[in-house]
Amino acid sequence: MSWIFIALLVGILVWRMKPAKGIRTMSTDELKNILKDKKIQFVDVRTPAEYKGNHIKEFQNIPLHVLNNKISSLKKDQEVVVICQSGMRSSKAAGQLKKAGFTNVINVRGGMSAWRG
């Protein structure tokens, strides 16, 4: 009976970790190649303290917990790249953006933990 519970728990974890439908991902190496593109909106969804400690200068800080309130500051017709510390919060943020009508959303895999800039 306990194996059913473990299998269910693993299934839920896998389901929660998969990217939302229609959201692309990119590596931090791929990110380096597009940072100078002024048509792309770069959003860091970590807390202000995390952002202050270390960030990529092209990214604006819009913490995940206030993203829905600040979503109008972003342009729906422009590409949005989101990052966090590990990729989990930015995945949630990307899902919120898709639900709000953004069509071109990219999540950075591994987040700042994987960044070597």
Count: domains in the chain:
1
Q: Is 23 a catalytic residue?
A: no
Structural domain span for residue 98: 21-114
For residue range 25-48, list pLDDT tens digits in order: 999 999 999 999 999 999 999 999
- 108 inside domain: yes
Tell me how far apart the alpha carbons of residues 80 and 90 are, in angstroms, rounded to a whole number: 11
| Burial (CB count <10 Å: 0-12, 13-18, 19+), residue 74 | middle
- 33 inside domain: yes
- 11 inside domain: no
List 83, 84, 97, 106, catalytic entry: 84
Tell me how far apart the alpha carbons of residues 60 and 47 are, in angstroms, rounded to a whole number: 12
Which CATH number does the domain housing residue 71 bear? 3.40.250.10
- 3 inside domain: no
- 30 inside domain: yes
For residue range 87-109, list pLDDT tens digits in order: 999 999 999 999 999 999 999 99
- 46 inside domain: yes
> What are the backbone angles phi and psi of residue 42, rounded to the nearest 5°?
-110, 125
- 15 inside domain: no
